[in-house]
């Protein structure tokens, strides 16, 4: 556990973020390895199947991820306030909530899978593989929530190294199982899905054993779980807007996938591959945002609001520099990167075009997420939800639909940075209002942290 309320702000955020970034990159390696193995062994139809599976899966779990995020913000603020009894109650409440919702989602997803698949207009040559892949992932979704929920709790406590170790173990296991199931056993796309579930389950089991034996605050035993209704409602207040935000993003991804699916398997496969590379490139901005959110949460909980602005400034500089470097690297090596997944010339051409356009604007994504990190760390998640709604559903998707009808799939690619620019601008403008300062859940000396900030 790391106390982020003392010491140099930029150094605190950087040292906290580096393990997060390493763990996050390894987490993305799940999808990367699946895509490389499937693209090389099964072909572009398999790539297209995984490309369609991701937005559907994200849609199913998005709301719960957001609610769980609300719990981690509460954990970070209580930890900053040194109220460890409330920290334990929040952790127990969060586990009960996640496991219950995971079981419900598995049942719901399996029952309504066919209607969901029909919505995104998946091509006939891709449909069977996409369905098989999603069925297996949905069946094992409870281990996903267990593993990712545990790492999120640890981050709320200021521990970014332990989740990194668990993620490395999980990813290396997934790589070995991918090669074993898909290449050696010839299980096809189902083998890639089983590799993901088994590796996540194994990592979660490892985390349970390790934390139960070594951690002072986290106990992953059913008998130790206590549900606190007040903390649950606080989690909903903070987490529901983020959950709806994730849901809007997920539904937006499905809507974009439906537009992409109109252009056939080559474009779908290229979009899937480019999206995997995109997700890696965007990880630093997202992880810096997570680190900043934990930093802001702890400092607001401790009544140290003076440190928030300094942390924001340091994060903006670090995240922007990384984004510019990644823009240059990816735009200059785009064709080689796409060919790692699939060597079809048309897939390489289309995917390279996407990366050339989108990578030039990574800094906008970085700015948007950095300001969003401050807002979420303070517990102000409602306005970021509306910003996402505007950027995605009023800007990105309508422009993608309109431009794709006139200039083809290239119009979809240009819609991406337009949405980023909108999100960055509105996040910055709302930060300037200062209203996020009044949203904390902890109390300091009889006053809310928000009240202190107004003096």
pLDDT value, residue 440: 66
Q: How many Å apart are CA 248 and CA 163, to the nearest integer? A: 27
Residue 275, both tokens: 């999206």
Check residue 159 and give left, alpha or beta (phi > 0: left; psi -120 to 50: alpha).
beta
Strand pairing of 447-448 and 443-444? Answer: antiparallel
Provide the phi-psi class of 122: left if phi over 0, else alpha when psi is between -120 and 50, else beta: beta
* pLDDT on residue 443: 52
Residue of 266, 245, 284, 431 whose CA lies nearest to 363: 284
- Cβ(157)–Cβ(301) under 8 Å? no
Where on the phi/psi map is residue 95: left (φ > 0), alpha (ψ -120 to 50), or beta?
alpha
Q: What is the pLDDT of residue 119?
A: 81
> What is this structure's pTM?
0.73
Q: 350 phi and psi, to 5 degrees?
A: -70, -45
SS3 at position 228: coil
pLDDT number for residue 390 = 92
For the record, the structure tokens of 289 come out as 């945002």
Identify the pLDDT of residue 421: 96
At residue 452, the pLDDT reads: 31
- State the burial class of residue 443 (Cβ atoms within 10 Å of its Cβ: 0-12, 13-18, 19+): middle
pLDDT for 324 equals 96
Asked if 310 contacts 295 with a C-beta cutoff of 8 angstroms, the reply is no
In angstroms, the CA 208 to CA 119 distance is 38
Tell me the three state secondary structure of residue 217.
Answer: coil
| Residue 341: strand, helix, or coil | coil
* Helices 84-111 and 141-156, packing angle to 10 deg: 160
The per-residue pLDDT for 56 is 83
The CA distance from 311 to 80, in Å, is 16
The three-class DSSP label of residue 444 is: strand
Q: List the structure tokens of 122.
A: 């998946």
pLDDT at 180: 94
pLDDT given at position 331: 95
The residues, ordered by sequence, that sit 6+ positions from 24 with a Cβ below 8 Å of its Cβ are 167, 283, 286, 287
**Segment (H or E) for 192:** helix 189-214
Helices 189-214, 161-178: crossing angle, 10 deg rounding: 150
CA–CA distance, 47 with 52 (Å, rounded to integer): 9
The three-class DSSP label of residue 173 is helix
**List of residues 6+ apart from 64 with CB closer than 8 A:** 98, 101, 102, 105, 145, 243
Read off the pLDDT of residues 199-253 as tens digits, 9 standing for 90 and up: 989 988 888 888 888 877 777 777 778 888 888 888 888 778 777 877 888 888 8
Q: Return the percent helix, strand and coil in the chain, to nearest 5.
A: 85, 0, 15
Instruction: Give the integer Cα–Cα distance in Å for 61 and 243.
Output: 9
Number of Cβ within 10 Å of residue 174's Cβ equals 25
- Regions in the chain scoring below 50 on pLDDT: 444-455
- What's the CA gap between 101 and 411, in Å, rounded? 38
């Amino acid at each position: 556990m790391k106390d982020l309320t003392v010491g140099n702000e930029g150094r605190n955020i950087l040292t906290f973020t580096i393990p997060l970034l390493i763990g996050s990159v390894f987490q993305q390696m799940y999808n990367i390895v699946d895509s490389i193995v499937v693209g090389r062994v099964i072909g572009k139809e398999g790539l297209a199947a995984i490309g369609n599976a991701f937005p559907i899966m994200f849609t199913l779990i998005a709301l719960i991820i957001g609610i769980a995020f609300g719990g981690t913000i509460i954990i970070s603020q209580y930890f900053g306030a040194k109220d460890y009894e409330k920290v334990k109650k929040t952790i127990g409440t969060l586990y009960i909530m996640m496991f219950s919702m995971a079981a419900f989602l598995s049942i719901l997803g399996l029952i309504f899978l066919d209607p969901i698949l029909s919505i995104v207009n998946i091509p006939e040559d891709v449909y069977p593989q996409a369905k098989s892949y999603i069925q297996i992932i949905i069946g094992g979704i409870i281990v996903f929530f267990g593993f990712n929920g545990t790492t999120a709790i640890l981050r709320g406590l200021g521990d970014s190294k332990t989740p990194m170790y668990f993620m490395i173990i999980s990813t290396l296991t997934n790589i070995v199982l991918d090669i074993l199931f898909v290449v050696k056993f010839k299980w096809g796309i189902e083998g890639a899905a089983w590799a993901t579930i088994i590796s996540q389950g194994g990592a979660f089991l490892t985390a349970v054993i390790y934390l139960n034996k070594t951690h002072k605050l986290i106990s992953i035993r059913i008998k130790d779980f206590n549900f606190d209704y007040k903390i649950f409602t606080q989690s909903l207040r903070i987490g529901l807007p983020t959950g709806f935000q994730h849901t809007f993003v997920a539904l937006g991804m499905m809507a974009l996938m439906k537009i992409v699916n109109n252009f056939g398997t080559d474009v779908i496969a290229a979009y899937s591959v480019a999206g995997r590379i995109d997700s890696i490139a965007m990880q630093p901005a997202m992880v810096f945002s997570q680190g900043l959110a934990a930093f802001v949460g702890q400092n607001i909980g401790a009544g140290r609001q003076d440190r928030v602005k300094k942390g924001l400034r340091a994060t903006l500089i670090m995240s922007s520099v990384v984004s510019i470097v990644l823009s240059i690297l990816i735009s200059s090596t785009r064709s080689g990167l796409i060919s790692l997944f699939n060597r079809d010339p048309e897939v390489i051409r289309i995917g390279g075009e996407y990366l050339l356009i989108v990578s030039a604007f990574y800094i906008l994504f970085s700015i948007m997420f950095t300001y969003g990190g401050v807002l979420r760390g303070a517990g102000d998640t409602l306005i970021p939800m509306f910003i996402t709604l505007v950027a995605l559903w009023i800007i990105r998707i309508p422009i993608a639909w309109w431009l794709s009808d006139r200039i083809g799939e290239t119009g979809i690619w240009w819609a991406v940075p337009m949405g980023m620019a909108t999100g960055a601008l509105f996040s910055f403008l709302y930060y300037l209002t200062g209203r996020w300062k009044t949203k904390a859940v902890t109390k300091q000396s009889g006053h809310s942290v928000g009240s202190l900030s107004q003096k």
